[in-house]
A and B are shown apart, each in its own frame.
Chain A
Amino acid sequence: MRTFQMQRYSAIALLVFLTIHMIVVHYPPFHIDFGIILERMESPVWKVIDIAFLFFVLMHALTGAYMVITDFESAFNYRKGLAWAAIVIGVAAFFYGSATIWAFQPPV
């Protein structure tokens, strides 16, 4: 089934992205402020990487949530609706997040 495959492939992608993310953003886990982020976000390469990361993490998270919910028999019959809900949330979150990343300009 597609969700299963999506879950695996996104998981593999996340392995890469999350590792990068953890190293660059959260480690060393000291105080983060706007400045540090801004510096990195200057580069369009980072933007692309972050957007891809966002894409995969949303895909993984929402298929994951979908899986968790549809494991319950009472929700199983509403899979179609749930899948659409996940897609809508995913697309919305993706655009919102991408906009954030893209718009990350040093506000003067």
Chain B
Amino acid sequence: MPNSEVITHDVIIVGAGLAGSWAAMATAQQGVKDVGVLSKIHPLRSHSGAAQGGIAAALNNVRPVPGTGPRGPLEQIPVGDELVDSTELHMFDTIKGSDWLGDQNAIEIMVNDAIDVIYEYEHMGCVFSRTPDGRIAQRRFGGHSAPRANYAADRTGHVLLHTIHEQALYHGVKFYAEWYVMDLIVEDNAVRGVVAIDVLTGKIHLLRAKAVMFGTGGYGRAFKITSNAYANTGDGVAIAYDAGVPLMDMEFVQFHPTGLYQHGILMSEACRGEGGYLINKNGERFMEKYAPDKMELAPRDLVSRSEQTEIDEGRGVMDDGQGIFLDMRHLGREKILERLPQVRDIAIDFVHVDPIDDPVPIQPTAHYSMGGIPTDVHGQVIADASGTPVVGFYAAGEAACVSVHGANRLGTNSLLEASVFGRRAGYAIAEFIKGGAKLLPVTGDPAERSRQAVKELLDNPGTELVEDIAQELKANMTMNCGIFRDEERLNIALDKVHELQQRFKNARVMDKGSRFNTDLLATLEAKHLLTFSEVIVKGALNRTESRGAHSRTDHPKRDDEDWLKHTIAHKGEDGRPQFSYKDVTLYWDRFPPQERKY
């Protein structure tokens, strides 16, 4: 492949989902105009657009009709009436949801910024659904004790993503659509740039910058049944890890209770937020047993485990007993058409069931990655448990771990996190650049190294199909490192990951061309899956307790004594992860740890 020119920007942002686009927009808004955003798919195709249910903020626009109890119908709060929600309550819900693993300083910032961010979205043109008097409409969501999910029908992420992308364009941000970042360059704990493939031509470029930010999204694609897009292969996480940056809390992977049976495609939590029931083979609303108070609207980890228990105990539906019914018939045609149109289309398209007439078969699906690249509350990436910064390197969104979600994220908090911390990262980057940041030199030619690596991959006469390796990995992760885990299965999982890493050396790329070689990209992505899956499994094996989404049947209790701490994983000399642990920021007197009950 021919040599290609070096591209230079003040700021390079990788990822154009909510996190990346907010950061780009905010940076440009603050006067740092030379911003380049790289995205492996067109920005508007980013997975943020798939989010359905809503984005949390205690706006206090609606409440349950007085006298109907906490699960009663909702109405707008009349002017001057008592408010039902507060940032304090939002904070508490988030902490409880996180099973006390969330850093409370970060959570406090998030719930406070939330209100501002939602209004900013609205002022930028986002079309939210409305209450009769014209305020932003809100609905209930799992684990939240007030209706605070601000929504746009069931395509909230879609309208947010389009709004913020438009604003970034307005502010003159330069987008590189369909550029695949394959390496991060960090020397002496300071970032220098990235190496990326221009997918269209196949040319590999070095891009230098004073600051680099990662908003590369989640890693749900490591699992067989997942709600995540094909693109969510956790590239950013793996690339950073390979460059020597640590990863935090990777073992915490959220399983969403309502993925479409066998497809994993999401049936938004809004289905339950609007009042849908979960039903087992015997027609029972089994959540009565597991969360008598919140029922279907208990947090996701709990509902998913309840479903899995029903399934494991033989009360699942469908031929193989692996499903559960999501029943929305009682909501009525009108409500479904108005509030959940997309969800209905999905059910009709993929399982040929119209939720208006029949219950929809669902099953738990890998959904969200709580872990990621550790950062402080300004999006500044940290290099170790004591918080040493990686100079010029920022991260936000699902790829990062601030950590506001701790061991389990509440629905609607992640769009919020991506927005709030994307924006904060943008502000911090602008300040960093204005403070006189320098373009640091790069040793050697990293692009040439990447070119060699790609050439080796292409020239490899191997016999293994990449897809087979990836499929085996995913099946392995779902089976042995899924909703319920134990030492035995995790050991099997680890062996399997090691075996697959070996087999990957013999992988064959079928497409040898340079133009739009998605086969090559899929190979690089598979490599990334193998890289961080090892961290997930090892982290899960080490953590001998059950907390949030990490549920060890051999250690069923939460163990605050030993495990109220974040896992930090570095890539060791031998290529294997090395673990250390970081304290959780807690406000002991305000939110003392308690048992999680719903």
Q: Do chains A and B touch in the complex (CB under 8 A)?
A: no
Instruction: Give chain A's interface residues, CB within 8 Å of chain B.
Output: none
Instruction: Give chain B's interface residues, CB within 8 Å of chain A.
Output: none
